[in-house]
Amino acid sequence: MSRSANKDDGKPACVRTDGVKPQPVPCTSAHGIWQADAECYASATPSDPQPPQSSAVWQHFDENFGVGDEQGKVYDCYYPSTGQTALIYLFDPPTAAQAPPTPGEVAREALAKLDLRAVEIGMAPQPPATAVVGLPVWLWVDHPSEETFGPASASATVRGVTVTVTAKVTDVVWDLDDGTTLSCDAGTAYRAEFGATPSPDCGHVFLRESGTRPDGAYTVTATSTWTVEWAGAGQTGTIAMDPLVAQTQVIVAEGQVLVS
């Protein structure tokens, strides 16, 4: 029996359990409006006639639900688990139960908890130092973290539906502003002992100085692509996410200019 059509016990409003694996049910049917706490379909209007006040039904409701003098009504409620109809007491007229969210919707709630940011650009020579035409420039993701490179995870629960998302960077595309683009992973951080050797996995050589470019520098852009996967409520999926962008500028000069 039910005190209220809107009791929140943590279950999705339109899910039936009755001792079996949870399964969705229509929020309304020919039998009435789904009552989450009683797991039955209550008629839209009170039973007519109402049981007389001398009926043992009222005593039962009072003993179990504290009906007392409150002005509720008795409704017919159809139980799909048994195929039978019984009387329940509701303080308020039944209203259409709110359908549970889809797992994909909850996944976006979980994704919103992650503070995902663009990568930090690592470069050698590191601006404002000047790069030299014909000499290697190293590129990498500096200090990769859960927020800038992943993997990062978060969970969300909405009306009983729980979903966990996991996000990670799967590609970093570097635009060197001279017509060159590179697709890299995290890259290799430069160390002094590497000298003038090229990067083993993410590097570039500028062939022209930057004096004719806007601001006299090349704008280096690192665009990170995130893959976001989710799982929950017996389902899995992915979320499309806009790439995140970081930029810096590097001055490139001819070698003889630096020597003079």
Q: Is residue 185 part of a domain?
A: yes
Q: Is residue 194 part of a domain?
A: yes
In the chain, beta strands by DSSP E = 15-16, 23-24, 28-29, 32-35, 40-42, 73-79, 84-90, 120-124, 131-132, 136-142, 152-158, 161-175, 181-184, 203-205, 218-232, 235-239, 244-250, 252-253
What pLDDT, on the 0 to 100 scale, is given for residue 259? 44
pLDDT digits (tens, 9 = 90+) for 144-199: 999 999 999 999 998 778 999 999 999 999 999 999 999 999 999 999 999 999 99
Nearest to 31 by CA among 81, 103, 105: 81
Nearest to 156 by CA among 164, 146, 148: 164
Q: Are residues 49 and 146 in the same domain?
A: no
3-state secondary structure of 73: strand
Output the pTM of the full model: 0.64
Q: Are residues 114 and 67 in the same domain?
A: no
Out of 47-56, 120-129, 204-213, which region has the weakest mean confidence (pLDDT)? 47-56
Domain that includes residue 46, residue range: 15-90
Distance CA 141, CA 145 (A): 10
Q: Are residues 237 and 152 in the same domain?
A: yes
pLDDT digits (tens, 9 = 90+) for 69-91: 567 889 999 999 899 999 988 88
The amino acid occupying position 244 is L
pLDDT digits (tens, 9 = 90+) for 184-219: 999 999 999 999 999 999 999 999 999 999 899 999
Q: Are residues 82 and 197 in the same domain?
A: no
The two beta strands, 131-132 and 252-253, are parallel
Domain end (from 64, 90, 116): 90
Distance CA 209, CA 206 (A): 7
